[in-house]
Chains A and B, each alone.
Chain A
Amino acid sequence: AIQLTQSPSSLSASVGDRVTITCRASLGISSGLAWYQQKPGRPPKVLVYDASTLQNGVPSRFSGSGSGTAFTLTISSLQPEDFATYFCQQFDSFPVTFGGGTKVEIK
């Protein structure tokens, strides 16, 4: 199974900060990576798919990049509603796997 390692596992940031989350795959997955945001008590919501394509309706302050084994999710200017947990996911091969998550907390 392809393992996805996210870093950091948690971070504290202030409103307006630029935040970068990294996801590394144990094998190359081309551009087959998606990013999800999850708030407490809610299901995840897709932000980015195909490594860099923004889902309809997602604010442009979110962006994804990378290919192969190294990927990043960037929030250019953190907003109050962005405090949540973020997961990466690969669907390049079965089993589908998720990263362990990055919790973004208020500083």
Chain B
Amino acid sequence: VQLVESGGGLVQPGRSVRLSCTASGFTFGDYNVNWVRQAPGKGLEWVGLIRSLGFGGTTEYAATVKGRFSISRDGSHGIAYLQMNSLKAEDTGKYYCVREDYGAYSPYFDLWGQGTLVTVSS
């Protein structure tokens, strides 16, 4: 059971990059998938989520990325994507793909990928 992110690297400000998250070992389509980022030496920031296919695959985004980032999923191949456009220096950080599970009261993040580093710099 794992999530593996890919696609990070050095990107110029204003450009785009697409991150991938490949799931294995579980039924990917049954779960919501979130993206969480962490700037170097800083805390955790939620980026957004895509709901499971059973909940329509709808999305939610943080205000800091809304309109610039979009999340999609390929259920048949167990892959989620984070499309990042109009990148800014403050988007620099490690991006984690995270599976969401449900407790009795609230969701929580039970499975994290190792993360992929995105550096936005000229």
Q: Report A's interface with B, CB cutoff 8 A.
A: 1, 29-34, 36, 43-46, 49-51, 53, 55, 87, 89-92, 94-101
Contact = CB atoms under 8 A, between A and B. Distances in A.
Interface residues of B, number: 22
B46 to A, nearest CB: 4
B62 A43 contact: no
B43 A100 contact: yes
Q: For the complex, would chain B's binding face be called helix, strand, loop or mixed by DSSP majority?
A: strand
A33 B62 CA distance: 19
Contacts of A50: 103-106, 108
Contact of B46 (A46, A98, A101): A98
Q: For the complex, would chain A's binding face be called helix, strand, loop or mixed by DSSP majority?
A: loop
Going nearest first, the 7 A-B pairs with the smallest beta carbon separation are A32-B106, A43-B112, A49-B108, A50-B103, A96-B46, A34-B108, A98-B44
A97 B61 CA distance: 12
B57 interface: no
B1 interface: no
Interface string B85-122: 00000000000100000011111111011110000000
B105 A87 contact: no
Nearest to B111: A46
B45 interface: yes
Contacts of A32: 105-106
B106 A98 contact: no
A32 B44 CA distance: 18
A36 B109 contact: yes
B109 A55 contact: no
A94 B32 CA distance: 14
A43 to B, nearest CB: 4
B20 interface: no
Interface in B43-76: 43-46, 49, 60, 62-63
Contacts of A94: 60
Contact of A87 (B43, B49, B107, B113): B43
A91 B107 contact: yes
A31 B114 contact: no
